[in-house]
């Protein structure tokens, strides 16, 4: 679950990290009122699930309440990557002297949390790591020990005492909320030498939400921004929207990631994917329905690796769905596993040539998409 910026900032502020004064608004009139109360130039930040809002041109600045209301009226009429702007965070504009980057995330290769600090903030941190790694401090954290005194000494030497305090607080938030990512980009040093978090990211592992009822409730504030993801989540599936033109239905996170890589290596571009658990005939019928209504795509790749479930049952679910709702784009299906021969026969009966090798199915779907 990825919290919106204003939700993450409240948690940061409650934990002792300074943030700019401000409030959220849902109408231009509320934006105008908040700007008037702040009595200072403001920044209007739409609360969206997408990243890089600045590059998308939806972060606006205003010098007075009238300008803020006008800018807000425009923003509330914008849809960004199929997500309408419904909430705007109005904050006092901060005069910036220096920007830094601070995050705690998971290093899956080392199987531990990692603390990342950069003396350059407000940038693409992955790109910075490649081009100028000396600007970064990365510390692997022993989850049984947390941030040690030795770590604090290194952080203070690299970025100063206050950033060391921020790092300790962020790590505490990371552990308390079972986070996958806690990030401030940027942390700013103002012209008055105050250190403030002007952005906030808090992504929480969905499987831990049963321990955080107060966080799970926050989803209701923005859940209608992505009906497909909500519907997938209700079935314990994962739905991710991507910018390409090949829709994907598969099961198992590792296998789904492999498919995405194979498509990219073959010159294709995924439009989205639904990652399901073990499903039956009704399950694949529902998954098909969800993928079809998610967004338009040039073609669709279905990957079935049947273990506890059965290829013939899943093929019947596909057959039933296509009879009820004929799909007007090409469908490529790779099907292997339990009752594979019977499943292939059913698919051939409805005019779909099944594949057994994943690489061949990927090559075919990429060819069709081009």
- Answer whether 248's CB lies under 8 Å from 274's CB: yes
What is the radius of gyration, based on Cα positions, of the chain?
24
pLDDT tens readout for residues 125-159: 767 767 777 778 999 999 999 999 999 999 999 99
What is the average per-residue pLDDT within 324-349?
A: 94
Distance CA 37, CA 28 (A): 14
pLDDT band (50, 70, 90) for residue 278: confident
Query: Which carries the bigger pLDDT value, residue 122 or residue 139?
Result: 139
End-to-end CA distance of the chain, in Å?
A: 34
As a whole number, the mean pLDDT across the chain is: 91
What is the set of domains in the chain, with CATH numbers? 21-92 (3.30.1490.20), 96-211 (3.30.470.20), 226-369 (3.40.50.261)
Query: Which carries the bigger pLDDT value, residue 109 or residue 66?
Result: 66
Judged against a pLDDT cut of 90, whether residue 63 lies above it is answered with yes
pLDDT tens readout for residues 6-42: 999 999 999 999 999 999 999 999 999 999 999 999 9
Q: In the structure encoding, which two tokens stand for residue 27, read together?
A: 């109408």
Query: Which carries the bigger pLDDT value, residue 125 or residue 346?
Result: 346
At residue 126, the pLDDT reads 67
């Amino acid at each position: 679950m990825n919290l919106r910026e204003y939700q993450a900032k409240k948690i940061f502020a409650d934990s002792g990290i300074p943030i700019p004064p401000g409030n959220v608004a849902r109408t231009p009139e509320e934006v105008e009122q908040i700007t008037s109360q702040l009595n200072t130039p403001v920044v209007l930040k739409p609360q969206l699930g997408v990243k890089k809002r600045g590059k998308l041109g939806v972060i606006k600045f205003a010098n007075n309440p009238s300008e803020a209301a006008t800018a807000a009226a425009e923003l509330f009429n914008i849809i960004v990557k199929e997500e309408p702007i419904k909430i705007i965070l109005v904050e006092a504009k901060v005069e910036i002297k220096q920007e830094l980057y601070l995050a705690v995330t998971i290093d899956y290769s080392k199987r531990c949390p990692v603390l990342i600090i950069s003396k350059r903030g407000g940038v693409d941190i992955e790109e910075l790591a490649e081009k100028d790694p000396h600007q970064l401090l990365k510390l692997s954290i022993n989850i049984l020990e947390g941030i040690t005194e030795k770590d604090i000494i290194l952080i203070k030497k690299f970025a100063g005492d206050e950033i060391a305090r921020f790092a300790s607080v962020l790590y505490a938030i990371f552990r308390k909320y079972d986070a996958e990512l806690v990030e401030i980009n940027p942390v700013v040093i103002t012209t008055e030498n105050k250190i403030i978090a002007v952005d906030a990211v808090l992504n929480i592992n969905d499987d831990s939400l049963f321990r955080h009822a107060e966080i799970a409730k926050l989803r209701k504030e923005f859940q209608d921004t992505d009906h497909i993801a909500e519907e997938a989540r209700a079935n314990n599936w994962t739905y991710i929207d991507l910018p390409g033109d090949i829709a994907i239905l598969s099961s198992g996170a590792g296998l789904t990631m492999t498919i995405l890589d194979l498509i990219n290596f073959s010159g294709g571009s995924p439009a989205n994917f639904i990652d399901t658990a073990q499903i039956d005939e009704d399950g694949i019928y529902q998954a098909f329905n969800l993928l079809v209504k998610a967004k338009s795509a040039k073609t669709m790749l279905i990957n079935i690796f049947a273990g506890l479930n059965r290829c013939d049952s899943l093929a019947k679910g596909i057959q039933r769905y296509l009879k009820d709702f004929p799909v007007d784009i090409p469908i490529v299906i790779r099907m292997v596993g339990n009752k594979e021969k019977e499943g292939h026969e059913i698919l051939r009966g409805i005019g779909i040539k099944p594949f057994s090798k994943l690489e061949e199915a990927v090559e075919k779907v990429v060819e069709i998409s081009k």
